[in-house]
Amino acid sequence: MIFDEVRAILDRVRKNEEKAFVILADGLGGYPLNIPSATKKTNAFFPTSGTAFFYSLYTQKTPEHHHTLEHYTRGEEGIYIPLWGKDLNGNRVEEELEDDLFSLLEEEGIQVQHLTPYLDQPYVKRWGKAQPLNTLSQLYELPEKDFTFVNWPMIDYTLHKYGPYSPAFNQEIELLELTVKRLRKRLPPEVKIYVFGDHGLTESQQKIFLPEIEGNLPVGGERAAFYQLSYDEVANALENMEGVLVLEKEELEAVLGFPLTPEIKRRYGETAVIAERGYGFVFPYAKPDNVFSHGGLSKEERKILIYIL
Ligand SMILES: [Zn+2]
């Protein structure tokens, strides 16, 4: 699992065995990059989207301990987006945040740098020293640190919008390959470069409108959603819908890899709805029109290749 791999990198950095330069190329999944490197296969979190990954990265806890699974989450005040720290109207939602990875590493005497275009995200703000990332060529100018983490979102963005056979996507991949190769030449050999995405994507052009059921709004993401209702209630309400798979509590626990906690039931519920291949969910309160998306259980979404240079 991807979190174990990240923890293993951090362990080696802590033990002074290596310096690590990590490029998180959101959405890259199992895409075959053309760069001279070793590769390691692993799996994404379920749901296969950035939310659980980033919460685990920043808190260094697995989802059963940080309870944050997907893009849309239920909070005290209603539905909100934890990764953006905002509710559906764009108002800030102040969450009580735990310690964050970068502060913890610094306390241990490890030199860190974090580059991201999302300086406004709650955990990024919490540390307060992340740098704005606008272009990949910025990476050539960085000072050498023990641990560098770069959040590069353009692969995911291009895939959602144009799909993987598009000129825009190819151009983004070429740019990433070129940057990584150049970076390898510039960085000293004791700095290991890691490139991976936190999930892949799959085709989701056929849209399924997820209704409110018995007063309960679905939360989740474009390929996995959650209701605070029983399996029977959800299965009955969605009975005639094509492309929908309803998971019972036990099946949901099996894909999550842990028993549902009271907090996860409170935020999400105990019945999950998964979009089958080719389908994507539309929520009553949001209208995305992505060609490709992620969050579900398909191989394309779950497989991750870690490139090690
Ligand atoms: Zn995405």
**223 and 192 within one domain:** no
Give the CA distances from residue 39 to residues 194, 223, 306, in Å, rounded to whole numbers and listed in that order.
9, 27, 5
Phi, psi (deg, nearest 5) at residue 92 = -65, 135
190 lies in the same domain as 225: no
> With contact defined as beta carbons under 8 Å apart, do 196 and 39 qualify?
no
Task: Compute, in angstroms, the gap from residue 92 CA to the centroid of ligand 1.
Answer: 21
For residue 251, the model assigns a pLDDT of 97
Backbone φ, ψ for residue 202 (5° rounding): -140, 160
Tell me, in angstroms, the distance from the centre of ligand 1 to residue 294's CA.
Answer: 6
The two tokens of residue 208 are 């399924």
Q: What is the pLDDT of residues 163-189, one digit of tens each?
A: 888 999 999 999 999 999 999 999 999
Ligand 1 mean position to 91 CA, how many Å? 22
Give the Å distance between the CA of 288 and the centre of ligand 1: 11
What's the pLDDT at 32? 95
Residue 164 confidence (pLDDT)? 85
Q: State mean pLDDT over 37-54.
A: 97
Together in a domain, 180 and 218: no
The mean predicted confidence, pLDDT, of the chain is: 95
**CATH at 119:** 3.40.720.10
Residue 229 and residue 276 share a domain: yes
Q: How many domains does the chain have?
A: 2
CA 294 – CA 107 distance, rounded (Å):
35
Same domain, 131 and 187: yes
- Ligand 1 centroid vs 283 CA: distance in angstroms? 16
> What spacing in Å lies between the alpha carbon of 8 and ligand 1's midpoint?
25
- Shared-domain flag, residues 153 and 214: no
Claim to verify: residue 77 and residue 221 sit in the same structural domain: no
State yes or no: pLDDT of 118 exceeds 80: yes
What average pLDDT does range 291-296 have in this prediction? 93
pLDDT of residue 77: 84
Q: Domain holding 259: CATH number?
A: 3.30.1360.180
pLDDT of 288 above 90? no
- Cα(156) to ligand 1 centroid in Å equals 5
Where helices occur in the chain by DSSP H, the ranges are 2-14, 50-59, 63-66, 101-107, 122-127, 154-162, 167-186, 231-237, 249-256, 262-267, 299-302
Long-range contacts of 85-93 (CB under 8 A, 24+ apart): 85/120, 85/121, 85/122, 85/125, 88/285, 88/286
Tens-place pLDDT, residues 95-113: 889 899 999 999 999 999 9
- The SS3 call for residue 194 is strand
State the Cα–Cα distance between residues 175 and 194, nearest whole angstrom.
16
Predicted confidence (pLDDT) per residue in 256-278, tens digit: 999 999 999 999 999 999 999 99
Contact 129, 114 (CB under 8 A): yes
Whether 226 and 272 have beta carbons less than 8 Å apart is answered as yes
pTM: 0.95
pLDDT value, residue 304:
98
Give the range of the structural domain holding residue 76, as residue numbers without chain letter: 2-201+299-308
* 229 and 139, same domain (yes or no): no
Distance 246 CA to ligand 1 centre (A): 22
Residue 120 and residue 9 in one domain: yes
126 and 36 assigned to the same domain: yes
Do residues 108 and 16 both lie within one domain? yes
Q: How far is the CA of 57 from the centre of ligand 1 (A)?
A: 17
Enter the DSSP assignment of 71. Answer: S
Residues 63 and 127 occupy one common structural domain:
yes
